[in-house]
């Protein structure tokens, strides 16, 4: 057994058996080990951002880490943006980066760079392996770190010679620590605060808002009169008919301040007190009003569901909670715009759908319209690094082959990682991409206006407009092996969605807004 | 004047007036300043790797830096791979990265990350600006660092509030230091070595092998009997009929060792003694044979041309040197393969063409066939980070609007930054893309064989084969606004090249190998 085989065997033994990869020469023994060790599924991405975003989507839906296999510093850097999103989503991921042979690093060959410096900002755990003898152990430690409570990005840098040299064998991964519960007195204090008569909201967030988590929170709310809120951007939330539906905080700071202005207490669960996405002149970072006190029940690394269930018991909550009523819009007809787009998807999405929303401004109404749709999972852009949607949908489809994945994808961010479409085609993934083509970086046009630029000049227009030339997404999608149609009316979108959702495999609908 | 305007005015005053950009909210004042300050050309890339690679190509052909304008850590990271190539090419580039407002960083908002840690591995100069008052000065220092002898990547991190706050005005850029000449005694020593009768080669490399540089080297060779070699991967080399043509070192270590085995002395000019691109078991880093002594005339940061001209004088070289004879292949007919592809391009490329070669294995014969073509500039992949070709061609076309650019582009690496095609269309750039479609990561299939994997397994095949599904480059290119045709025979390629080279504006030819 060589070092590469010891690493892959260690991963497979720990149940880490999917590898999203774009390898090069310094990963060849690891590539060979993906075959000589049995039980791994290797998935090629034609760009590293596809691999890391797919690993994020896989983790969000499976709760388990995938491996990525990436080529030295330059290959890894192409995956950093989606690792940034994964870090914000607290998704467990194990990155394996091949490096030059230990004795070749000093030669400063063309591909040499400081990989640890590149990896550290997006990795909770980084290690450079020092040889084949410890490669199994280092892989086990990387997996252990990734699977620590609430998830982490682990990055193991693996020298080329450590992969090809003899190794003692696979290593066992230490069991992950269980997430901690808040102390009893902390739960008591929050229960008391919930009973003090002050207007109170419970803010939910964190790695996953599972149905059980939401039901515990809703039971607390039912018993205490608190209102339920949730973060603007969530890794994954369960929702739909019968599932409790917290109010989602809006995007702009003034909107969040207005919402929180209704409350004197904010109980924070699985997340932290809200901060502004961006700063503005005369603005502020914290979006907690001065008159509102934040109380933390449990951080994202703690047992959020357990904490809420203990709190529910403490406040004498009812045994069950009411979820959102079943209600979905009629199939829209007429003009295709943001509203009819949201209605169309909400009207047609099947039960158990996984929806990845990176539609940016084009997705503004979908969230509202889909509240009472059949139960589904919703994933969002967590770290603001655009280009997450198509890769994340790819990984989710691999994690959940029996569920339909719907990617609501803005055109500007879709261009960042459009290579994902090819992987969807190659792997026959059951993904319907609704490509929302407004032919602009619309959010930036809003931001220009907020920055006081009433009439953008030639350069500012050039940097925010995508209409010249028009991007033909149907042509691009077909070029990457994914069947595609264009919808210019709501009726055409409904018909296209109907067809796409009824058929297995990937397809793309360019919705012209 | 605000800080953003002081930065852009400083750049324009220094002649840095092209900005390859993909900005976001934290760059909005800089975006506005691209209009309120006169004289800047802003070019949008739909992915940051397009921007940084274009800045590299622009620098290689103009000798001057362009700006890039990129969005926080995650946006910047998407440009790192091509900055890695630019660093290896010693191309001057000035990156401006917007960051959160100084008072907002501590809030750790979703897009916050350690930008300096990400930037350092690819930047010779990194600074985080501390406010509007010093933003003009910092911009001037960034430009000065970029324009230091032989070029550097400079990265200036600009807080959002420093952009919108009042600033004192533009700053002047200190004059760049002249590159140093070797000491007289060093030139004398090398002249003596060249006369000692030992078989000697002169190895050329560095930021640019201009015609004058090559002619000085050829004069030394003519006087001393030394042979001329050049590095495997060069930022830019002038070549063609009448231009001295050093022998190019090959890619694999054993090939380089064989070539250098002919010599007892290696005079190194503008580069360093060769090292292996990758390490192999029982291999070595240095490719200088034990029996060969390396002597450095001038490093890449020195006055390479001046040093060679002084050496020519010292060895009593003739006043002029013989260049490559004019000779170009016939237009090929019949099957389209690597050889006929190389012949076709060499047969048709016009005088003054700029050729960017990222064709990888598909470009293997082009170099040989084009040696006697009309004078042209050739750029190559310098840092091994694939995805450089299309962006670099984009930037070269903006630097040299009167010259035809030909991008010889492999399909695997072309997929990394195919968004470049859209920028070529938007800016009506005169680029002919010859997309070499062998539908595989062929070099990795070679490397698998070198690693002893005689019969790749299912996963190894999956990670190196691009044929399922087939990528339809004609469809993709049209989708991005660039007219495209497919060539399946040499005759079809010749006809398509004829048409494309006769017309202005971008076009793509998918050459099916």
Mean pLDDT score of chain B: 97
Mean pLDDT score of chain A: 97
A230: three-class secondary structure by DSSP: strand
ipTM passes above 0.95: yes
CB-CB neighbors (< 8 A) of B473 in chain A:
479
**CA atoms within 13 Å, Cβ hemisphere of B208:** 20
Distance (Å, whole) CA A202 – CA B153: 48
What would the pLDDT profile of A126-169 be if each residue is shown by its tens digit? 999 999 999 999 999 999 999 998 889 999 999 999 999 999 99
Q: Is B273 exposed, middle or buried (0-12, 13-18, 19+ CB in 10 A)?
A: middle
Helices (H) and strands (E) in chain B, counts: 21, 18
Provide the pLDDT for residue A504. Answer: 95
Provide the pLDDT for residue A277. Answer: 96
CB-CB neighbors (< 8 A) of B279 in chain A:
100-101, 103-104, 109, 160-161
Which helix (H) or strand (E) segment is B229 a member of? strand B227-230
Q: Report the 10 Å Cβ neighbour count for A261.
A: 11
CB-CB neighbors (< 8 A) of A46 in chain B:
412, 415-416, 466
Beta-carbon separation of B77 and A80 below 8 A: yes
User: How many contacts (CB atoms, under 8 Å) link A and B?
Assistant: 309
Share of chain B above pLDDT 90, in %: 97
CB-CB neighbors (< 8 A) of A285 in chain B:
103-104, 106-107, 109
A406 pLDDT higher than 90: yes
Calculate how close chain B gets to A17, using CA atoms only, in Å. Answer: 12
The mean pLDDT of A436-445, rounded to a whole number, is: 95
Provide the pLDDT for residue B488. Answer: 98
What would the pLDDT profile of A58-106 be if each residue is shown by its tens digit? 999 999 999 999 999 999 999 999 999 999 999 999 999 999 999 999 9
Calculate how close chain A gets to B32, using CA atoms only, in Å. Answer: 6
- B408-418 burial, b at 16+ Cβ within 10 Å, e below that, comes to bbbbbbbbbbb
The mean pLDDT of A430-448, rounded to a whole number, is: 95
Return the closest-CA partner of residue A508 out of A485, A480, A476, A481.
A485
Pairing of strands B237-239, A265-269: unpaired
| A21, A382, A451, A484, best to mutate vs chain B, most B CBs in 10 Å | A451
Distance (Å, whole) CA A231 – CA B147: 46
Calculate how close chain A gets to B228, using CA atoms only, in Å. Answer: 22
Strand order in the sheet with B507-512: B237-239, B376-380, B354-358, B405-410, B431-437, B507-512, B484-487
Name the pLDDT band for B144 (thresholds 50, 70, 90): very high
B207 pLDDT higher than 90: no
What would the pLDDT profile of A285-302 be if each residue is shown by its tens digit? 999 999 999 999 999 999
B111 pLDDT higher than 90: yes
Instruction: Answer yes or no: are the C-beta atoms of B218 and B323 closer than 8 Å.
Output: yes
| Total-model pTM | 0.98
Beta-carbon separation of A81 and B81 below 8 A: no
Distance (Å, whole) CA B349 – CA A6: 51
Distance (Å, whole) CA B45 – CA B23: 10
Instruction: Answer yes or no: are the C-beta atoms of B376 and B404 closer than 8 Å.
Output: no
Beta-carbon separation of A463 and B279 below 8 A: no
Higher pLDDT, A149 or A307: A307
What would the pLDDT profile of A441-458 be if each residue is shown by its tens digit? 999 999 999 999 989 999
> Chain B residue with minimal CA distance to A448?
B28
A502: three-class secondary structure by DSSP: helix
| B459, B477, B478, best to mutate vs chain A, most A CBs in 10 Å | B459
Q: Report the 10 Å Cβ neighbour count for B316.
A: 11
Beta-carbon separation of A459 and B35 below 8 A: yes
CB-CB neighbors (< 8 A) of A24 in chain B:
444, 447
What would the pLDDT profile of A175-219 be if each residue is shown by its tens digit? 989 999 999 999 999 999 999 999 999 999 988 899 999 999 999
Nearest to A120 among B77, B117, B472 (CB): B117
Q: Is B120 exposed, middle or buried (0-12, 13-18, 19+ CB in 10 A)?
A: middle
Q: Is the peptide bond before B338 cis (omega within 30 degrees of 0)?
A: no
Distance (Å, whole) CA B325 – CA B239: 11
Beta-carbon separation of A117 and B120 below 8 A: yes
Return the closest-CA partner of residue B183 out of B288, B296, B39, B63.
B296
Provide the pLDDT for residue B151. Answer: 87
The mean pLDDT of A6-13, rounded to a whole number, is: 98
Beta-carbon separation of B34 and A285 below 8 A: no
Return the closest-CA partner of residue B168 out of B132, B207, B221, B216.
B132
Cβ-Cβ contacts under 8 Å for B395 (sequence gap 6 or more): B20, B53, B54, B55, B56, B57, B58, B59, B60, B61, B66
Name the pLDDT band for B206 (thresholds 50, 70, 90): confident
Share of chain B above pLDDT 70, in %: 100
Which helix (H) or strand (E) segment is B398 a member of? helix B389-399
User: Measured in Å, how far apart are chain B's first and last C-alpha atoms?
Assistant: 56
- B228-238 burial, b at 16+ Cβ within 10 Å, e below that, comes to bbbbbbbbbbb
CB-CB neighbors (< 8 A) of B472 in chain A:
478-480
Calculate how close chain A gets to B113, using CA atoms only, in Å. Answer: 6
Calculate how close chain A gets to B417, using CA atoms only, in Å. Answer: 9
Provide the pLDDT for residue A208. Answer: 80
A172 pLDDT higher than 90: yes
Instruction: Answer yes or no: are the C-beta atoms of B60 and B379 closer than 8 Å.
Output: yes
A56: three-class secondary structure by DSSP: helix
Pairing of strands A265-269, A293-298: parallel
Beta-carbon separation of A73 and B88 below 8 A: no
Nearest to B278 among A26, A31, A80 (CB): A26
Instruction: Answer yes or no: are the C-beta atoms of B76 and B23 closer than 8 Å.
Output: no
Provide the pLDDT for residue B16. Answer: 98
> Chain A residue with minimal CA distance to B460?
A31
Calculate how close chain A gets to B430, using CA atoms only, in Å. Answer: 16
Q: Round the CA-based radius of gyration of chain B to a whole number and report it.
A: 24
Provide the pLDDT for residue A207. Answer: 80
CB-CB neighbors (< 8 A) of B455 in chain A:
none
Alpha-carbon distances, residue B1 vs A289, B38, B41, B94, B306 (angstroms) = 34, 13, 20, 21, 43
Instruction: Answer yes or no: are the C-beta atoms of A479 and B473 closer than 8 Å.
Output: yes
């Amino acid at each position: 057994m060589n070092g590469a085989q010891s690493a892959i065997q260690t991963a497979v033994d720990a149940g880490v058996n999917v590898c999203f990869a774009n390898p090069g020469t310094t990963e060849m023994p690891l590539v060979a080990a993906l075959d000589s060790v049995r039980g791994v599924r290797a998935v090629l991405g034609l760009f590293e951002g596809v691999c890391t975003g797919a690993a994020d989507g896989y983790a969000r839906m499976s709760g388990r880490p995938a491996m990525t296999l990436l080529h030295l510093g330059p290959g890894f850097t192409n995956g950093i943006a989606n690792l940034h999103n994964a870090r914000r989503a607290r998704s467990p991921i194990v990155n394996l980066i091949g490096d030059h042979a230990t004795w070749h690093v000093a030669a400063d060959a063309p591909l040499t760079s400081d990989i640890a410096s590149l990896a550290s900002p997006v990795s909770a755990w980084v290690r450079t392996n020092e040889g084949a003898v410890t490669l199994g152990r280092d892989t086990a430690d990387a997996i252990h770190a990734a699977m620590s409570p609430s998830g982490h990005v682990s990055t193991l840098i693996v020298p080329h010679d450590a992969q090809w040299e003899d190794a003692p064998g696979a290593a066992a991964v230490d069991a992950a620590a269980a997430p901690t519960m808040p102390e009893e007195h902390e739960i008591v204090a929050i229960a008391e605060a919930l009973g003090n008569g002050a207007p109170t909201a419970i803010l939910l967030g964190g790695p996953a808002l599972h149905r059980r988590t939401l039901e515990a929170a809703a039971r607390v709310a039912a018993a205490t009169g608190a209102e339920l809120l949730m973060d603007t951007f969530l890794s994954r939330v369960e929702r739909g008919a019968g599932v409790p539906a917290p109010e989602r905080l809006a995007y702009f700071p003034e909107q969040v301040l207005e919402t929180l202005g209704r409350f004197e207490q904010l109980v924070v669960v699985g997340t932290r007190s809200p901060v502004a996405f961006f700063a503005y002149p005369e603005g502020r970072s914290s979006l907690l009003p001065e008159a509102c006190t934040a109380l933390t029940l449990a951080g994202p690394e703690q047992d959020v569901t357990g904490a809420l269930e203990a709190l529910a018991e403490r406040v004498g909550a009812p045994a069950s909670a009411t979820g959102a009523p079943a209600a979905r819009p009629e199939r829209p007809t007429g003009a295709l715009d943001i509203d009819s787009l949201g209605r169309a998807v909400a009207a047609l999405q099947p039960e158990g759908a996984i929806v990845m929303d990176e539609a940016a401004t084009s997705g503004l109404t979908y969230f509202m319209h889909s509240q009472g749709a059949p139960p589904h999972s919703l994933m969002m852009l967590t770290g603001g690094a655009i280009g997450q949607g198509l890769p994340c949908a790819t990984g989710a489809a691999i994690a959940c082959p029996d569920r339909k994945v719907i990617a609501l994808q803005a055109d500007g961010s879709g261009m960042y990682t459009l290579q994902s479409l090819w992987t969807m085609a190659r792997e026959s993934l059951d993904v319907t991409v609704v490509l929302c083509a407004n032919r602009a970086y619309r959010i930036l046009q809003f931001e220009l206006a907020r920055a006081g630029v009433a009439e953008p000049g030639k350069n500012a227009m050039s940097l925010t407009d995508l209409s010249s030339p028009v991007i033909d997404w149907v042509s691009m999608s077909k070029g990457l092996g994914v069947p595609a149609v264009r919808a210019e009316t709501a009726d055409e979108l409904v018909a296209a969605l109907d067809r796409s959702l009824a058929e297995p495999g990937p397809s793309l609908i360019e919705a012209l807004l």
